Amino acid sequence: MDRSNFVPLFALVSLVFSTPGWAADNELYDDPPPEDAAFVRWLGENAAPEILGVSMPDVQSGMFHPVSAALTDGAQAGSFYTAAVDSKGHVAVIQEPNRADRSKVLLTLLNISDSPVRLVLLDHNVEVIGNTAVNDAGGRTVNPVTANLAVVSASGAELGVFDVQLRRGQNLTFVARSDGADLIENRFGPNIEG
C-alpha cells in the first residue's frame, strides 16, 4: 500500500483529537490528588469550618477532598480525616484507620455520640469493630459479604441497623451519633488547592 494514503488518515485523526470536544472530554475528570495528599471531609448540615488549617470547599458534605499535607496543620500524607460536630457541640477532627488492602472492604465506625459504641453482626451478636471511644474511629477490613450490621451503644441500645451488600474495594463509614447512626459510602470530591 502507498504511504501517501496514510497522510490524509493521519491528518483526520489529528484533527479529531485536537477539537474542543476532545478538550472538553478531558475536563470531565478532576485533577489527580497531590503526591502527599491527605483526605479531609466534613459531616454536617452547616458550612464547613476550617479543618486542619484548610478551608473546605462549599460543596455537599460527606465527600473526602484531597489536600497536600504540606498545606495543613499537621495532617499526615495518605491519612483520612473526618470533622463533625460531636455530642457536646464542638467540632471534632478524627483520624480514620488506614486503608491498606483494596482487595477487601474497609468498615469504619466513627463515634461522635456521648458514649462508646461498637459495630456488631446483628444475627449472631458477633463484634465486627470493638468498643470505639467518643470522638474516635475504629476500623476493620472484611471480605465482601451480605450482612445485617448494627451500631450498638455501651448500654446495648441499637443506634442503627444496616442491611449491607459489601463489594471489593468499597469503604463504608458508620457514623454513631447520640440519637442514631448513619451509613456513608465513601466518595471523593475535588482537590483543595492552597
For residue 169, the model assigns a pLDDT of 82
Q: What pLDDT, on a 0 to 100 scale, did the predictor assign at position 22?
A: 46
Mean pLDDT across 74-88: 95
Q: First and final CA of the chain: distance in angstroms? A: 55
Beta bridge partners of 39: 66, 80
Q: Report the candidate in 194, 155, 151 with the shortest Cα–Cα distance to residue 174.
A: 151
**136-166 pLDDT per residue, tens:** 999 999 999 999 999 999 999 999 999 999 9
Long-range (24+ apart) CB contacts under 8 A made by 157-160 are 159/113, 159/117
pLDDT at 9: 47
Domain boundaries of the chain, sorted by first residue? 3-188
Taking CA atoms, 132 is separated from 91, 167, 180, in Å, by 18, 24, 15
